[in-house]
Homo-oligomer: A and B are copies of this chain.
């Protein structure tokens, strides 16, 4: 954390951060991405010159770290802080912003066509985001994305690949759920991320056995069926028993 990050000076014109915000929607059991509209219409034109969706991003300031830029972007779009985030890849192709629409947009917004962007992804449950703000962001299921500007289709694809990989070996699914969840929620989340079906009996047994999955003295409420047991994830316990198992799995 740089000491003077609140005194924003100049932006660095050729460095930006783009945030892929992944949200899991428990109701639709869908892994979603939060996007904003990119719209530009000149007065002398009938049709808009640019009309698609993009990730929220911003340039890094001279006096902030790129992690801080990511925090700032996230906060501005969602009002939220302290969420799980991962810097997953840099997009540094000199031609990455050279589609027709992107050039029009860049000229209109006065930024450099040679911008290197640092990709972060964030994990959260969709319902924590108040999506009523000036950006008017919208959730799209990862498999039904709209037309995307810049190279953001590629950025999202790379983020998703990384997420799928990490989900198998790190306890990050919990970041997509509320603190209290059911085993079925967990299974739904895995199924949405990985795009596979999982046997419910084997999954339950496996997860309930883990010491860091803790049964609470609480059950679901407001459901018109058998309310299910709620659990929480204990990061402390996880880290304590996280043996560096060194199981070579190639």
Footprint of B on A, CB under 8 Å? 2, 12, 14-15, 60, 62-67, 69, 87, 89-90, 92-95, 114, 116, 118, 167-171, 173, 190, 194, 196, 206, 210, 246-250
Contacts and interface: CB of A to CB of B under 8 A. Distances in A.
A12 B114 contact: yes
B206 A64 contact: no
Given A14-B14, A169-B169, 5 more contacts: A2-B95, A65-B93, A66-B90, A66-B92, A67-B92
Given A12-B14, A248-B190, A94 B196 contact: no
Q: How many copies does the complex hold?
A: 2
A208 B14 CA distance: 50
A250 to B, nearest CB: 5
A169 B165 CA distance: 10
A206 B248 contact: yes
A208 to B, nearest CB: 13
Contacts of A62: 94, 114
A241 to B, nearest CB: 11
Contact of A66 (B67, B116, B210, B250): B116
Given A14-B15, A15-B14, A114-B12, A90 B92 contact: no
Given A15-B116, A248-B168, A63 B196 contact: no
A90 B168 CA distance: 24
A93 B87 CA distance: 14
A94 B67 CA distance: 11
A14 B14 CA distance: 9
